[in-house]
Amino acid sequence: MSDRTQPTIYPETQFYWEGAKQGKLLLNACTPCGNKPFFPPRPFCPHCGSREVTVMQASGRGALHSFVISHLPAPGYEPPFTVAVVMLEEGVKMLTNIMNCPPDPDHLELDMPLELTFETRGDLKIPQFQPAKGGAA
Amino acid sequence: MSKAAIAIVGAAETTRMGKVPELSQTGLHADAALNAMAECGLTPADIDGIATAGHDAAEIAQYLGITPTWLDSTSVGGCSFILHVRHAAAAIATGLCKTVLITHGESGRSNNRAHRPLFPSMQQQEFESIYGPLFPPARFTLPVMRKMKDDGLTIEQLAMVAVVQREWAAFHPRATSHDPLTLDDVLSSKMIAWPFTKLMCCLVSDGGGALILTSAERAKDFPTKPVYLRGMGGESCEGPMISQMEDFTTSKAFRVSGKAAFESAGILHSDVDHLMLYDAFAHLPVYGLEDLGFVGKGEGGAFIAEGRTRPGAELPLNTNGGGLSYMHSGMYGMFALQEGVRQMRGTSPAQVKDAKLSVVHGVGGMFSGAATAVLTSEDQW
Ligand SMILES: [Zn+2]
A91 C-alpha to ligand 1 centroid (Å) = 14
Cβ A72–B137 below 8 Å, yes or no?
yes
Cβ A65–B130 below 8 Å, yes or no?
no
Burial of B259 (0-12, 13-18, 19+ CB in 10 A): middle
Q: How far is A50 from chain B (nearest CA, A)?
A: 19
Helix (H) or strand (E) holding B50: strand B49-52
CA B142 to chain CA mean position, Å: 21
Listed residue (B286, B281, B358, B356) closest to B319, CA to CA = B358
Q: Write out pLDDT tens, residues B36-68.
A: 999 999 999 999 999 999 999 999 999 999 999
Over range B174-181, report the average pLDDT.
Answer: 96
Regarding beta strands B100-107 and A81-88, do their DSSP bridges make them parallel or antiparallel, or are they unpaired?
unpaired
What is the rounded (10 degree) CA torsion for A68, B322, B327, B184?
Answer: 60
C-beta of residue A28 within 8 angstroms of C-beta of residue A55: yes
SS3 of chain B: helix, strand, coil, percent, to 5: 35, 20, 45
Ligand 1 (ion): residues with CB under 5 Å are A 30, 33, 45, 47-48, 50
Cβ A77–B137 below 8 Å, yes or no?
no
Ordered by start, the domain boundaries in chain A are 8-57, 59-137
At B286 the pLDDT is 98
Cβ B244–A93 below 8 Å, yes or no?
yes
Burial of B167 (0-12, 13-18, 19+ CB in 10 A): buried
At A53 the pLDDT is 98
pLDDT at A136 over 50: no
- What ipTM was assigned to the predicted interfaces of this complex? 0.96
Q: How far is B314 from chain A (nearest CA, A)?
A: 33
Cβ A65–B196 below 8 Å, yes or no?
no
**Which residues have C-beta within 8 Å of that of residue A57, sequence separation ≥ 6?**
A19, A24, A25, A26, A27
C-beta of residue B285 within 8 angstroms of C-beta of residue B272: no
Q: Please, what are the domains in chain B?
A: 6-115+205-229 (3.40.47.10), 127-204+233-376 (3.40.47.10)
**Which residues have C-beta within 8 Å of that of residue B217, sequence separation ≥ 6?**
none
CA B271 to chain CA mean position, Å: 20
Cα dist from B37 to B91, B319, B336, whole Å: 20, 25, 19
pLDDT at A1 over 90: no
Q: Write out pLDDT tens, residues B135-157.
A: 999 999 999 999 999 999 999 99
| Residue to substitute from A72, A77, A87, interface B, most B β-carbons within 10 A | A72
Q: Which CATH number fits domain A59-137: 1.10.357, 2.40.50, 3.40.50, 1.50.10?
A: 2.40.50
At B230 the pLDDT is 98
Residue-averaged pLDDT of chain B: 97
Listed residue (A17, A74, A10) closest to B139, CA to CA = A74
Residue-averaged pLDDT of chain A: 96
C-beta of residue B31 within 8 angstroms of C-beta of residue B23: yes
pLDDT at B118 over 80: no
At A50 the pLDDT is 98
| pLDDT more than 90, % of chain B | 97
Nearest chain A residue to B248 by CA distance is A66
Q: d(Cα B373, Cα B230) in Å, to the nearest integer? A: 8
CB pairs under 8 A between A and B: 102
Banded pLDDT at B114 (limits 50, 70, 90): confident
Cα dist from B130 to A105, A128, B123, whole Å: 22, 11, 11
C-beta of residue B28 within 8 angstroms of C-beta of residue B208: yes
At A137 the pLDDT is 41
Over range A27-56, report the average pLDDT.
Answer: 98
Burial of A1 (0-12, 13-18, 19+ CB in 10 A): exposed
Q: How far is B361 from chain A (nearest CA, A)?
A: 26
Nearest chain A residue to B242 by CA distance is A95
Q: d(Cα B153, Cα B175) in Å, to the nearest integer? A: 28
A42 C-alpha to ligand 1 centroid (Å) = 12
Nearest chain A residue to B121 by CA distance is A8
Over range B307-316, report the average pLDDT.
Answer: 98
C-beta of residue B126 within 8 angstroms of C-beta of residue A126: no
B334 C-alpha to ligand 1 centroid (Å) = 39
Report chain A residues whose CB lies below 8 A from the CB of B198: none
Question: How many beta carbons lie within 10 A of that of residue A19, not counting itself?
Answer: 19
Please tell me which of the candidates A39, A68, A94 has its beta carbon nearest to residue B193: A68
| Residue to substitute from B124, B125, B130, B366, interface A, most A β-carbons within 10 A | B130
At B115 the pLDDT is 66
* Half-sphere CA count of A129, side-chain side, radius 13 A: 33
pLDDT at A79 over 90: yes
Cβ B127–A126 below 8 Å, yes or no?
no
Listed residue (A10, A48, A14) closest to A29, CA to CA = A48
Q: Residues of A75-91 as b/e, b for ≥16 C-beta within 10 angstroms?
A: eebeebbbbbbbbbebe
Q: d(Cα B115, Cα B121) in Å, to the nearest integer? A: 16
C-beta of residue B340 within 8 angstroms of C-beta of residue B81: no
Q: What is the pTM of this model?
A: 0.97
Q: Write out pLDDT tens, residues B248-299.
A: 999 999 999 999 999 999 999 999 999 999 999 999 999 999 999 999 999 9
Listed residue (B110, B81, B97, B100) closest to B18, CA to CA = B110
